[in-house]
Structure 1
């Protein structure tokens, strides 16, 4: 009778953060071979989530068959001055053997502070008996700082509350996030606008020329006008995710944007980094019915935004893409700003924007200013919520990594 390798146990916490879910690990709890980047770490996380799965369901893992639920996080106590915890995010593909480390997850960023406290990574002297704990996070994927304001009650993270977040069924405690210096404004626009232009033109074979705002804020994002794609901006997931031809066209556009942003050297390389850049399309406000049945009125929002993640229209809005929306909306002349009315004018940034997404609405604020002819964004703020769903140990066959 053949002998098969046993399973090992690894401590983990399964958390919801914003409109996403992920498996959180302490770095020191991982098997030694997975404590550093490389094939062993990727193989471990793929097996934990249940990928690659040709059925697209991740039945044999903790993933749930969507980009929002196929995520892994590794936390460690930070040795970086001014920070409490290092946060590394892996977007695990569902049907491919790919873990994309090229960007952050803004939704799960809301869970990092609470999880770090649960894991004992934060000095207990910094956790008051009640009030708010300010957790300083180093986002290791992109080299940026995030500040999380975590509510505390009786010396523990407060997870229940009355903060409602569209895309999440139940209310919870509010976690306010600040994304510090989310875009680097270098010479000629630098990393914020990789081409140094507010609006570019993408020439996509089979589609033609499309106006696009290419921005690196929160996460590299390609913004398009919904009208140019034949959309209204009120679409829900079913209108796009069931259309293989549309998804292929949108992926071709994303690849062209990645090439123009300098993120890849050849169009074919886009398949190796499906997490970035994001692709989103915008439109002026309009009435629509959200996926929950909630009626969204045009007068209650500034614009419409629909975004794709890992090749599918997202059910709500990725947190990092929301950062990009806030920054682009603040800067006069971008497609996002123009869809929102563009009325702020030269030299005046829009301080906040409320946009409609498939599950409802979200408000995000950006502190932006025109300095010596260049736009600088010092902070983007939004609120999410987070909750521990399960904690204990995951089991993984030892011969998988």
Structure 2
């Protein structure tokens, strides 16, 4: 029996918002994995413990959910006016691929703290006490993110009293602004419409708002797909037929948005687009046992990520929600009661979240200047990850 020694790679395991992942400094990776390609993907798959036919990721750092099967590679920025380059890899749980097609909004909150603590931000900019504005270049989507990181006694402050539904313990607040979150062409609505009729063979035809802000997202009305919008995870994830139906809607939404040229391609593009369903306010009990009152939210949103209903809300999808809510006539805006709005509070399976966005119509095109929300981040463990030396 052959035996190959394991290698050690410096790494940090971090929570950002309602997600967690393994963070690397680019220069700490083995040379073959310092550039995009097969070696990098194989390394990250092995670190996380994928592909795993058991879907548990027992032999890796992953947590067997879309929220915990994530990797981040950071480096000093090569983009003018930015501190750090942020590359995000969503690792498939049961398939041998890493999806590089989008960002993770939740982990964006951890990028600034990691960058400061690991020397990627000029030390002259870090006060003894105060706030550091870290300008992040999001490599996957070629966009700017600005994180305001609190500093106490010259170090990143991680503890505090900011509470975030979906995260058990309070921590320090990290406001995160996603600048100009539409794609590079400014095509917030790839079809050119606020609402489309999305025909999904074998499933039905649905009113849909397909928006590219934060992350490409397909919004449908909860009632149109047989739900109230107050569902918790098990109502969807425990129903294979429902998951198949939503995945089919997502695939045809991706086709309509021009993200793929054939629906079969959706299987290898699990991270984007997201699919979500919206509904007017309704009281319900969140997964934590917390009561969410209809009077305290503007609408309800449930979103699926990597084929499963998310336990809270993806940060990038929250950006899409805020952007769509700010534009009169979208399904998100109508579920929230319609009209002009600058912020929206929505209910999700773990509680509620507020996100702000500013929208403007210029020369017949909708623009989003920025979307802002507060998250928190914390280092869970730091040191080395180990992988067999022949795994990449």
Structure-2 separation of matches of 1:220 and 1:210: 17
Q: Does 1:361 align with 2:352?
A: yes
Moved over 3 A (4+): none
Q: Equivalent residue of 2:192, what SS?
A: coil
Q: Does 1:255 align with 2:246?
A: no
Q: Does 1:294 align with 2:285?
A: no
Relative to the length of structure 1, the TM-score reads: 0.97
Deviations 1:258-316 (A, max 9, x none): 00000001000000110000000000000000000000000000000000000000000
2:317 aligns with: 321
Q: Equivalent residue of 1:395, what SS?
A: strand
Preserved CA contact (<8 Å) 1:86 1:138: yes
Quick one: which of 363, 368, 375 aligns to 1:372?
A: 363
Structure-1 separation of matches of 2:248 and 2:29: 37
Q: Equivalent residue of 2:376, what SS?
A: strand
Quick one: which of 366, 372, 378 aligns to 1:387?
A: 378
Deviation, structure 1 residue 122? 1.0
Structure-2 separation of matches of 1:257 and 1:343: 26
Q: Does 1:51 align with 2:50?
A: yes
Deviation, structure 1 residue 184? 4.5
Tell me which moved more, 320-329 or 372-381: 372-381
Preserved CA contact (<8 Å) 1:83 1:136: yes
Preserved CA contact (<8 Å) 2:12 2:383: yes
Structure-1 separation of matches of 2:228 and 2:20: 29
Structure-2 separation of matches of 1:110 and 1:56: 27
Quick one: which of 220, 226, 232 aligns to 1:224?
A: 220
The Cα RMSD (Å) is 0.9
Preserved CA contact (<8 Å) 2:182 2:368: yes
Preserved CA contact (<8 Å) 1:185 1:375: no
Structure-2 separation of matches of 1:202 and 1:178: 31
Deviation, structure 1 residue 336? 0.3
- Which blocks of at least 5 consecutive residues in structure 1 are unaligned? 345-349
Structure-1 separation of matches of 2:270 and 2:369: 28
Structure-2 separation of matches of 1:259 and 1:120: 42
Relative to the length of structure 2, the TM-score reads: 0.99
1:182 aligns with: 181
Tell me which moved more, 367-376 or 93-102: 367-376
Structure-1 separation of matches of 2:95 and 2:4: 24
2:137 aligns with: 138
Structure-2 separation of matches of 1:266 and 1:287: 40
1:82 aligns with: 81
Deviations 1:59-78 (A, max 9, x none): 00000110000000000000
Q: Does 1:64 align with 2:63?
A: yes
2:299 aligns with: 303
Cα distance change on mapping 1:185 and 1:337 into 2, 3 Å? farther
Structure-1 separation of matches of 2:183 and 2:259: 15
2:390 aligns with: 399
Preserved CA contact (<8 Å) 2:141 2:183: no
Deviations 1:299-353 (A, max 9, x none): 0000000000000000000000000000000000100000000033xxxxx1000
Q: What is the number of residues matched between the two proteins?
A: 392
Structure-2 separation of matches of 1:201 and 1:101: 29
Structure-1 separation of matches of 2:372 and 2:347: 17
Q: Equivalent residue of 2:230, what SS?
A: coil
